[in-house]
Amino acid sequence: MNLVNRDTAVEPSPMGRGLMAVMCACVVLVVGMVAAINLAVPMLAASPLRPSASALVWIVDSYVIVFACLVIPGGAAGDRFGRKGVLLGGLVVFAVGALASAAAPNVAVLLAGRAITGAGAAAVLPNTLAVLLHAVPAQRKAATIATWASMTGIGGVLGNVGGGAVLSGGSWRWLFVAGAPMALGLAALVGWVAPVSARHDRRLDPIGTLLLVAASVALLVGIVEGPVAGWGSALVVAGFVCAAALFVAWTVVELRVEHPLLDPRLFTSPGLRSACLGMTTVFFGMFALFYVNASFLQYVKGFGVLRTGLGVIPLTVPVIVGARQVGRLVGRIGLDATIAVAFGFVGGGLLGLSTCGSHTPYAVYAGWLLVTGVGVTLALPTLSGAITGSLPQALAGVGAGLQATTREFGSALGVAVIGTVATARFASALPEDLRAGGAHTVAQALAAAPGRADDVVAAFVCGADAGLRAVGVAVLVLGGLVVGQALLSRRATR
Residue 4 has a pLDDT of: 38
Among the listed ranges 119-128, 196-205, 426-435, 478-487, which one has the minimum average pLDDT value?
196-205
pLDDT above 70 as % of the chain: 90
Question: What topology is assigned to 268-494 in CATH?
Answer: Growth Hormone; Chain: A; (1.20.1250)
**Looking at the domain that runs over 14-203, which CATH code has it been given?**
1.20.1250.20
What does the alpha-carbon distance between residue 42 and residue 303 come to, in Å, rounded to a whole number? 12
Considering only CA atoms, which of 491, 482, 494 is closest in space to residue 273?
482
Strands (E), 245-400: none
Distance CA 345, CA 494 (A): 30
Give 347's pLDDT tier (boundaries 50, 70, 90): very high
Do the beta carbons of residue 297 and residue 344 sit within 8 Å?
A: no
The candidate with the shortest Cα–Cα distance to 130, out of 208, 70, 199, is 199
Q: What average pLDDT score do residues 338-349 get?
A: 95
Please give the pLDDT value at position 9: 41
pLDDT of 393 strictly over 80: no
Confidence of residue 382 (pLDDT cuts 50, 70, 90): confident
Summarize pLDDT for 129-174 with one digit per residue, the tens.
888 877 777 777 767 776 776 677 678 778 888 999 999 988 999 9
The pLDDT value given to residue 292: 92
Residue 200: band (very low, low, confident or very high) from pLDDT cuts 50, 70, 90 = low
Burial class (CB in 10 A: 0-12, 13-18, 19+), 155: buried
pLDDT in tens, 295-329: 999 999 999 999 999 998 898 888 778 777 888 88
Q: At residue 291, what is the residue type?
A: Y
Cβ atoms within 10 Å, residue 334: 11
399's CB contacts (< 8 A; 6+ apart) are 387, 388, 391
- What pLDDT score does 8 carry? 39
CA distances for 430 relative to 11, 43, 361, 464, angstroms: 61, 21, 24, 13
**Angle CA(65)–CA(213)–CA(103) in degrees, nearest 5?**
50
Task: Give the other-Cβ count within 10 Å of 432's Cβ.
Answer: 6
**CA separation (Å) from 72 to 205, 272, 449?**
10, 17, 47
